[in-house]
Amino acid sequence: MKRIAWYLILPVLLLLVAGATEQASASKLSGAIWTTDASGNPVDQNIYPSKCSVYLNGGPKPGTGGKGLPPGDYYYQVTDPAGTVNLSELGGKAIGDRLVSVPPPPDPMAGRFENVQLCPYADTPNPGGEYKVWLTPVEAYEAAMLAGEGTFGFVGSWCKTDNFKVAPEPGPQTVGLRGVKYYDVDESGSLTPDDYPLNEWEIVVTDVNGAVITSVQTGPPPGGSGETDGAWLVTDLPAGTYRVYEVLQDGFRQTEPDPTGQPAPPDPSYGWGYYEVTLVEGETRSGLNFGNVSLGRGRIVVFKYRELYDWYGGNHNAYDAGIDMPMGGWQIQVEGPQGNPILVPPGYTCSDMSSPDWGFVAFEDLPLGRYVVREEDRGYLGWVCTEPGVDGMGVPLTYTVDLTPADPEAYLKFGNELPRCP
């Protein structure tokens, strides 16, 4: 391509030699440059989503009716806004790879060029993410380099510039792990509505080789905010593969995840059941639940009494030691534990009025879990259950109790009255 005539460049050389290339006279280079996206459309406020989404255009700026660029070859460069760092060079794009050409008339592209990708170039040191792109004729660049003038060979009045910004590129998105720690009431090996949460159990996250990455306690963190009872959450992990264990507390057996057939854990305090999950950026894996049942035993003690409120007053629908009296020979039934029921023979309240156990019956050595306790219904003889009461059909209500490691015993009362005849 024919280059700019030397008679146009000679004044530049003279100015460079004289050291006066930065004088504040009007620009000697007509036309304009501006940045756009890949389709040639301007970007709002010149803020781009990434460095490689910035393209350079030159000529008469659209809508201005101005002059185009003189025909010839041009170099461009990207720097910081102050022009102190040549980001194109640092980014590995040599000056010879930063050449654009403007054809002369009658070429349809006379006076302009379109959509030259600026990438690659290094990150700007500017804290606001701002960059500056420059354009200068090749002859002006060569003369300036010979004279040691300009900004990396780009001399003020023989340049066109445009500033733009690039939004900070987001770092790698982290991943998360979450689950619930619960007492497996029905020993089903999965979380059900009848199960209840367990707090202050330690959950450990390791890499695939067993090296500990982090650990967390189940239940609400200090201050009571965040995860609910029994829940645990680990965040801000890089994408990758993880194993999740629980630290097994004394007296408990693991039901979820199934420990059967698993290799020995990397720490003997861990349960043998574990999760291995692979997460991609931005993913949070839920449902990493740990269920346990206690190896301990519990007991249920029932006291049966006759309520004499109708006869002597006192507390109604509750035991009054000064008025009501124990009742022996009344059958009590215990059913459970829920999900894994055992045969609990019915018991009868003690009938020995001289014994301290008068009116009591105890069910001993029960597996921990949920039980339903009921008394025999003697409504056909006129007896009315006052504690815990009756349903809409007059049938005595039952008790549902959870025998847990923290509370392995339950004490219940059944009261009945035989109303006086009117």
For residue 335, tell me if it sits in a domain: yes
The C-alpha R_g of the chain, in whole angstroms, comes to 43
For residue 422, tell me if it sits in a domain: no
- Could you please report the per-residue DSSP string of 71-121? SEEEEEEEE-TTS-SBHHHHTT--GGGSEEEEPPTTSTTTT-EEEEE--S-
DSSP state for residue 186 in the 8-state scheme: T
For residue 1, tell me if it sits in a domain: no
How many domains does the chain divide into?
3
**Pick the residue with more confidence: 226 or 376?**
376
Q: Is the pLDDT of residue 390 over 80?
A: yes
**305: helix, coil or strand?**
strand
Which percentage of the chain shows pLDDT scores above 90?
A: 64
153-180 b/e with 16+ CB inside 10 Å = b? bbbbbbbbbbebbbeeeeeeeebebbbb
Sign of CA dihedral 307, 310, 316, 322: negative
pLDDT value of position 310: 60
Tell me the average pLDDT across 280-305: 92
Backbone angles phi, psi at 411, to 5 degrees: -120, 120
Which percentage of the chain shows pLDDT scores above 70?
A: 89
Backbone angles phi, psi at 199, to 5 degrees: -95, 165
Q: Is the pLDDT of residue 223 over 70?
A: no
Claim to verify: residue 38 and residue 150 sit in the same structural domain: yes
**Residue 85: pLDDT band with limits 50, 70, 90:** very high
Bin 267: left if φ > 0, else alpha if -120 < ψ < 50, else beta: beta
| pLDDT tens per residue across span 123-137 | 999 999 999 999 999
Tell me the average pLDDT across 370-390: 93
For residue 94, tell me if it sits in a domain: yes
Tell me the average pLDDT across 95-108: 94
Q: Is the pLDDT of residue 5 over 50?
A: no
Q: CA-CA distances (angstroms) from residue 405 to 163, 217, 245, 408? A: 69, 19, 21, 6
| pLDDT tens per residue across span 166-204 | 998 777 788 999 999 998 888 899 999 888 888 889 999
- How far apart, in whole angstroms, are the C-alpha atoms of residue 42 and residue 57? 10
pLDDT value of position 306: 93
Among candidate residues 294, 320, 355, the one where a domain is terminated: 294
- How far apart, in whole angstroms, are the C-alpha atoms of residue 63 and residue 46? 17
Q: Is the pLDDT of residue 255 over 50?
A: yes
Claim to verify: residue 309 and residue 397 sit in the same structural domain: yes
Q: CA-CA distances (angstroms) from residue 298 to 25, 224, 229, 409? A: 97, 31, 24, 6
Among candidate residues 135, 166, 197, the one where a domain is terminated: 166
Peptide bond preceding 257: is omega within 30 degrees of 0, i.e. cis?
A: yes
CB atoms within 10 A of CB 286: 11
Mean pLDDT for the chain? 87
pLDDT value of position 12: 47
Tell me the average pLDDT across 357-384: 92
- How far apart, in whole angstroms, are the C-alpha atoms of residue 345 and residue 342? 9
Domain that holds residue 330: 297-417
pLDDT value of position 23: 35
- How far apart, in whole angstroms, are the C-alpha atoms of residue 57 and residue 64? 15
Claim to verify: residue 69 and residue 133 sit in the same structural domain: yes
Among candidate residues 166, 187, 206, the one where a domain is terminated: 166
**Residue 141: pLDDT band with limits 50, 70, 90:** very high
pLDDT value of position 88: 97
Q: Is the pLDDT of residue 227 over 50?
A: yes
CATH number at residue 348: 2.60.40.10
Structure tokens at 398: 């039952």
Q: Is the pLDDT of residue 314 over 70?
A: no
342: burial class by Cβ within 10 Å (0-12, 13-18, 19+)?
Answer: exposed
pTM of the model: 0.45
Beta-carbon contacts of 325 under 8 Å, excluding residues fewer than 6 positions away, are: 305, 306, 308, 359
pLDDT value of position 112: 92
Tell me the average pLDDT across 269-287: 94
DSSP state for residue 26 in the 8-state scheme: P
pLDDT value of position 21: 38
Parallel/antiparallel/unpaired status of strands 369-375 and 384-387: unpaired
Peptide bond preceding 120: is omega within 30 degrees of 0, i.e. cis?
A: yes
pLDDT value of position 222: 54
